[in-house]
Every structure is written in C-alpha cells, then in structure tokens.
Amino acid sequence: MSAVETETGPGETGNLAFRDIELHAMDAAERISSAYTRYGNKLVMSTSFGIQSAVLLHLATRVFPEIPVIFVDTGYLFSETYRFARDLTRRLKLNMKKYQPAMSTAEHEALHGRLWEAGDHGIGRYNFVRKVEPMNRALKDLGAEVWMAGLRRAQSSTRKHLKVLALQNKIMKFYPIIDWTDEQVDDYILKNDLPNHPLREQGYVSVGDTHSTSRLLLGMKEEETRFNGIKRECGLHENSSRIDFQI
C-alpha cells in the first residue's frame, strides 16, 4: 500500500488505521524495519539537527544505512547547529540531502522584511518560503512516498494526538518514536553514547532559527520556546494548503 493508495477510498482509511495499530505494538526499531521492508527507497527522513535529533538518526541508519536524510537549511540556524550537523553527519555516515530556500536571507529581508516579527501570518509566510517549499521540493526530487520524522507527543500540545502513521498533504508521515518520553530519549542517548546538541547545556529544549528560538525559562512550556509562543509548528508537520506567497 503506497501513500497515494491510502487516499483512493473510505476503505483505505481503515487500512491506515489497521497499519497504525500494527506499528504501535512494535518498538521503534521494529517500526522502522517494517517501514523499510514495505517501502524501500521510497522511505525518507528529515532532520533539523535539533536537541534530540541524534536518536532517530541513529535508530534509522542502523536499519537503513543509506536512507535519504533531508536537511532544510533556512540560512538562519545557530552556528552550533551547523557544527553539530557536520559532526553527526560524519559520525553516522548520513546520506545527506541538503535543501535551501530559493532566495538568500539577504534577498528575503530586502524584499519582504523580517517576517518572523509580523505576527502569526508573517511567521506562516516566513515558514513557507524558508522551510515548507524546500521540503516539498526535496520530497518531490526524491520520489518519496513515506516521510519519517522524530516528532513525539510529549513535545507539545499540537502533537499529543499524533499516531505512528498519518496522512499529511498527500504523503504518509511516519513517527517511530511518537510515544517516547523524555526519559526514554535521554536513556537512548546515554546508552548509545550519542551527542546532544551543544545548546542543550545552555537551557534550550528545542532549537530552530536563531530569531525564533529561546531558552526554556521558569514557568514556560517547551512549546513556548518557539516563535515567542505564537506558534509551535513551523508548517513542516501540519496539514495546510499552500500559503499565497510569491517567492
């Protein structure tokens, strides 16, 4: 059953739900192995090289060493993120597929200003240009049918109802560690001697662009460390129509 086939009729929704139940009974490594057996090179994954990205990258490459790993570089990442990405790519021998927006950061700001400071709509426009459009281009280029990502229910209220499998904008989304707790993540990192993102030691629990990420302070929820609490999701993991924005 391909991602396209899941949209052909009401019965396919039931098939997706049944498949989700099957995967939910497995551990994360078994889930990835099952997906690889089923989809082969139509399975890709994305990474932001965030705080806990080493976990899924390690899990996935143990099962499928050559899995295409999509990294969208917005041009506004922390210097620590770029170095972390370089080191982890070398260590895990990642099959990296790096994608960037169609316009540079300088051109973007010259023509459209600092959109991340323009409220919810401005953030949405910013995210479309610098994240969603490059990701859509990557998925098309790679002929992906299933997109694996490291989202977890414990990370935010926007993710607490996610299942192992879901349809998003005509592609199958696959979340092998969706039910992992923070403690499980930390235990896996320790057990496998994996590196944490350098900014974790400075109080960051989630890392994106420099201008839209803050430390976790007393009284804050994890999701409030992104976009000044206005938004948690950047558009990559949301069902949404294309934003009317000309690049």
pLDDT at residue 29 in the model: 96
User: Could you give phi then psi for residue 199, rounded to 5 degrees?
Assistant: -75, -10
- Please give the structure tokens belonging to residue 61: 């490459």
Our measurement of the distance from residue 214's CA atom to the centroid of its chain's CA atoms, rounded to an integer in Å, reads 18
Cα separations in angstroms, 187 against 181, 195, 208: 10, 12, 23
Residue 239 pLDDT level (bands cut at 50, 70, 90)? low
- Rounded to the nearest 5 degrees, what angle is found at the Cα of 145, between the Cα atoms of 139 and 151? 75
pLDDT at residue 225 in the model: 80
Please choose, from the candidates 52, 13, 19, 27, the residue with its C-alpha nearest in 3D space to the C-alpha of residue 149: 52
Please choose, from the candidates 80, 5, 58, 46, the residue with its C-alpha nearest in 3D space to the C-alpha of residue 194: 58
Q: pLDDT by residue (tens digit) across 41-93?
A: 999 999 999 998 999 999 999 999 999 999 999 999 999 999 999 999 999 99
Which has the minimum average pLDDT: 5-9, 97-101, 226-230?
Answer: 5-9
Q: pLDDT by residue (tens digit) across 126-170?
A: 999 999 999 999 999 999 999 999 989 887 777 788 889 988 878
pLDDT at residue 233 in the model: 57
- Ordered domains of the chain (ranges, CATH): 5-229 (3.40.50.620)
What sign does the CA torsion over 216, 222, 223, 224 have?
A: negative
pTM passes above 0.75: yes
Please choose, from the candidates 52, 28, 97, the residue with its C-alpha nearest in 3D space to the C-alpha of residue 194: 52
Which has the minimum average pLDDT: 1-10, 97-106, 186-195?
Answer: 1-10
Q: At what angle do helices 53-63 and 182-191 cross, to 10 degrees?
A: 60
> Out of 54, 72, 92, 234, which one is annotated catalytic?
234
pLDDT at residue 18 in the model: 73
Residues in the chain: 247
Quote the CA–CA distance of 84 and 244 in Å, as a whole number.
34
Burial 212-224, CB ≥16 within 10 A → b, else e = bbbeeeeeeebbb
pLDDT at residue 178 in the model: 93
Verify whether residue 234 is a known catalytic residue.
yes
